Amino acid sequence: MTEARPPSTVLFDLDGTFADTLPDLSHALGRAMAEQNLPPVPAHVLRPVVSRGARAMARQACGEALDDDALDGLVAHFLSFYGAAVCEHTRLIDGMQSVLDELHRRAIPWGIVTNKRREYSEPLMSALDPLGRAACIVSGDSTANAKPHPQPLLHACKLLGSAPAHCVYVGDAENDVVAARRAGMRSMVALYGYIAPEDDPRGWRADSTIDAPGGLLVWIDAH
């Protein structure tokens, strides 16, 4: 059981929770699809599967039009285009900057734990967090296992010198909640994130849900 006390550390998922990365992801995928004369797909079609990674996005976009080998090629081109422009149109989620400023004012350290690989997450965070306030950035290849394994979250705690029971992890996927639970920390679902219409985030057994980033501060104040 996690200890009922205010969190001393806040950890965020990246895509959909911390930043709206979909514009750059969908643009890069669109360029890769155009190379193969495949029709473009609206960003809203891709939104529900962003948390599942590049291959899931590519499959969502092209359906069964490509076999597995062709899909692998599409994903490689997609990621190449994305790596060259990770923060052209990506922005912090509305209201997130105010939350980060308040966490800084309160001397509450925060960090990022994402399944996005380091080659994309680190330049993206350099653009989104120019003052370098993030106390850690744990990427999908920072540890041997990615979420929903608890290792990335535990690694973040080790980097920050914080006990898992004193952390809260904010994410927009069930795997985020599972990883937090396995790590022994509290979890919060960002209902504003990249959640599929058929998903039931209120059934993920998270400790809390928020409709906007500012809800995190309300929750901290209540604990």
Q: Are residues 109 and 202 in the same domain?
A: yes
Query: Read out DSSP for 30-98?
Result: HHHHHHTTPPP--HHHHGGGGGG-HHHHHHHHHTTSS-HHHHHHHHHHHHHHHHH-TTSS-EEPTTHHH
Q: How confident is the model at residue 3 (pLDDT cuts 50, 70, 90)?
A: very low
The arithmetic mean of pLDDT across residues 110-126, rounded, is: 98
- CA end-to-end span of the chain, whole Å? 16
Per-residue tokens: 210: 């928020």
Which of 102, 23, 173 lies closest to 188, judged by CA?
173
Q: Are residues 77 and 147 in the same domain?
A: no
State whether 16 and 26 are in the same domain: no
Query: Which pLDDT band holds residue 4 (cuts at 50, 70, 90)?
Result: low
pLDDT in tens, 148-173: 999 999 999 999 999 999 999 999 99
**Domain end: 84, 112, 127, which one?**
84
Query: Could you tell me if residue 4 is inside a domain?
Result: no
DSSP, collapsed to helix, strand or coil, labels residue 222 as helix
Same domain, 102 and 80: no
- Same domain flag for 146 and 169: yes
Average pLDDT of the chain is 95
Whether 106 is in a domain gets the answer yes
Residue 76 lies in domain: 22-84
Residues 128-150 pLDDT 10s: 999 999 999 999 999 999 999 99
The structural domain count of the chain equals 2
Per the confidence metrics, is the pTM higher than 0.85?
Answer: yes
At 148, which CATH number? Answer: 3.40.50.1000
Look at residue 45 and tell me if it is in a domain.
yes
More reliable by pLDDT, 6 or 119? 119
Same structural domain for residues 121 and 216? yes
Rg (CA), the chain: 17
Which token pair is 89? 């149109």
| 50 in a structural domain | yes
Q: Which residues are catalytic?
A: 13
